[in-house]
A and B are shown apart, each in its own frame.
Chain A
Amino acid sequence: MTKEEDVQNELVKKFDFLKDKVKIQRSRRIFADVAAQDLRSVLDHMIKNMGFSFLCTITGLDEGSVFGVVYHLSTKDGMILNLKIRIPKDKPTLETITEYFPSAEAYERELMDLFGMQVEGLPKGSRYPLPDDWPAGEFPLRKGWKSKTSKQEGGI
């Protein structure tokens, strides 16, 4: 059995709800869909018992009526587990994972600034990456948001 199949079996064995939801895309790449409320228990298990001790990054996705959030975790030997949750766009809140990975703070702030998601439990700190005087309610990575060239910021 390959290492990827080991991870897949472990996920399905431990968590009933992941049956048919774990996909091995190629060597070292595993994708899994998780319900938002189950994310923490899956994360906890994979970090503590399966060696997924690095967080590569967190990706936000605008999928119409929902937001997708993909947590890219990695092991020491280069395997990546992509855990994807979906949250409703009209109530886009999710919990921070900074107690597992302090480095998640920057990626979660990106989700807040660029998608307008609400990340609960983040420590106080400056926003990232948009400027402090960025207009409220403008979230550039939402699909409906279009960029416009401006005389003000772009010279002429």
Chain B
Amino acid sequence: MHKFTVPIGPQHPALKEPESFNVLLSGERIMKFSARLGYNHRGIEKACEERTYIQNVYLTERVCGICSHAHSSCFVQAVEEIAGLEIPRRANYIRTLVGELERIHSHLLWLGVAGHEVGFDTLLMYAWRDREIVMDILAKLTGNRVNYGINTIGGVRRDINTDQIKDVSKAVKKLKERTEYYVRVAKEEVTLIKRLSGVGVLLPKDVLKLGAVGPTARASGIERDTRKDDPYGAYGELDFRVITDDHNDVYGRTLVRLGELLESYKMISQILENIPEGPITVKAPRKIPAGEAVSRYEAPRGENVHYVKSNGTDKPERVKIRAPTLANIQTVAKMLEDRNLADLPIVIAAIDPCFSCTDRLTLVKDVGHGKGRKMRWEDLHSHSIQWYKARGIDFSDLNKKMEKLLK
């Protein structure tokens, strides 16, 4: 059969973020899949070297709009390790609480997207409606729906009070009820099971070879979870299970994420019950002594890795960020081998990709201009005239003719 290549992206109505896929097809079958990333590269690693540690807490929080807390936590953990700071237990509990609430909003978001990609839009509407419950809670606790700004070096910036604890536990009760309903849907709804089973298969040996992380790895039976393997925050003191599944496909990834939601509710109840009293920060030095640290964090999509190297000043020497999608995207080609083109959207969605985190850095091209500045309307007008003039398009004759006519 004649083979042809279909380019998808970097700008495409079906994509939520810019990324480019090339799919070699033979009829409806995918022969080869390749991805070109980098369209969201924003220069964050370089920018970190030019900013102070405190500024970088907010900058790393903006690596990703969904798992923002995951990145700022991972960064502050590394800095605290270098500086030898032992943060108060209460701060650890609050960080973990926000981290689990973030996982809930991210997994519910994913559930909606997955429903949408397989044409089950009722699930999208339901899941995203319920997601608002956790978004409201996050806003109540931190002041923001995303980019919570709760972390600082040496602890957290906001305490929680008993009223908030009551609100959270009420919300979690409701969310648990709803999630149990989704588990029932996933286990009983035949259309959904048939659409997701056997799609996007990734065998355990391929997980190990390709280095997949998070729910993508756990749905292929690989019990790998940083919260258990390399405990941080309050996870060492919490009782929870690492959810795995052996379906090895998109259906398994759905069950793993739903199972993780239920575990998150369990953890949050334990946190609210056992949160210790005490301060929420320790004083952190402005200058961090020379050293290096590797920090890991189980973000909703899988393991985040931050490497921080300090040089004794108030700015880091190097910050390296590895977000989970970069580890997972490499499995997609394997999952799509010899599959139908129609499976492509859900298979890509099933790793819960976040290209914004993955790319981190678009550097501005160096063309020798000055810094960004504010422009008034007249400046903007003359800027646009100059911009076209520089490219050989000159409207001044036309303008003169117009002026004459008007006279």
Residues of A within 8 A of B (CB): 25-26, 28-29, 31, 53-57, 59-62, 70, 72, 76-78, 80, 82, 101-103, 105-107, 114, 125-131, 134-135, 138, 140-141, 145, 147-156
Contact = CB atoms under 8 A, between A and B. Distances in A.
Contacts of B37: 128-129
A129 B39 CA distance: 8
Interface hub of A25, A62, A77, A106 (most chain B Cβ within 10 A): A106
Interface string B46-85: 1100100000000000000000000000000000010000
Contacts of B38: 127-131
B46 A57 contact: no
B3 interface: no
Give the size range of B's interface with the partner: 35 or more
- 7 A-B pairs closest in CB distance: A78-B229, A78-B230, A129-B38, A57-B322, A103-B211, A59-B320, A129-B41
* Interface SS of chain A: loop
Given A25-B293, A151-B369, A153-B365, A77 B229 contact: yes
A147 B307 CA distance: 22
B114 to A, nearest CB: 24
Contacts of A54: 208, 211, 224
19 contacts: A25-B293, A26-B81, A28-B230, A57-B307, A59-B307, A61-B317, A72-B307, A76-B229, A78-B230, A107-B322, A114-B361, A128-B37, A130-B363, A131-B38, A140-B46, A147-B50, A147-B363, A152-B369, A154-B364
B366 A148 contact: yes
B45 to A, nearest CB: 7
Nearest to B326: A106
A149 B364 contact: yes
Interface in B193-245: 208-211, 224, 226, 228-230
Given A53-B208, A70-B307, A141-B45, A147 B320 contact: no
Given A76-B224, A129-B38, 10 more contacts: A55-B211, A59-B320, A78-B229, A101-B209, A102-B209, A128-B38, A129-B360, A147-B47, A150-B367, A154-B364
A141 B46 contact: yes
Interface stretch (B131-139, B339-347, B370-378): B370-378
Contacts of A156: 372-373, 375, 380, 383
Nearest to B82: A25
Nearest to A77: B229
Contact of B294 (A80, A125, A131, A151): A80
Give the interface centre of B209, B309, B363 by most chain A CB atoms within 10 Å: B363
A131 B102 CA distance: 32
B315 interface: no
B364 A147 contact: yes
Contact of A103 (B294, B318, B330, B365): B330
Interface of B: 34, 36-38, 41, 43, 45-47, 50, 81, 208-211, 224, 226, 228-230, 292-294, 296, 303, 305, 307, 309, 317-318, 320, 322, 326-327, 330, 359-373, 375, 380, 383
Nearest to B370: A149
A138 B43 CA distance: 13
Nearest to B334: A102
Nearest to A104: B211
Contacts of B46: 140-141, 145, 147
Given A72-B305, A151-B369, A82 B294 contact: yes
A147 to B, nearest CB: 6
A139 to B, nearest CB: 10
Contacts of A55: 211
A128 B40 CA distance: 11
A21 to B, nearest CB: 15
A149 to B, nearest CB: 5
A134 B46 CA distance: 16
A77 B226 CA distance: 9
Nearest to B329: A106
B307 A150 contact: no
Contact of B372 (A25, A72, A106, A149): A149
A29 to B, nearest CB: 6
Contacts of A128: 36-38
A129 B364 contact: no
Contacts of A140: 43, 46, 361, 363
B226 A148 contact: no
A57 B372 contact: no
B296 A56 contact: yes
A114 B309 CA distance: 17
A76 to B, nearest CB: 7
Contacts of A152: 365, 367, 369
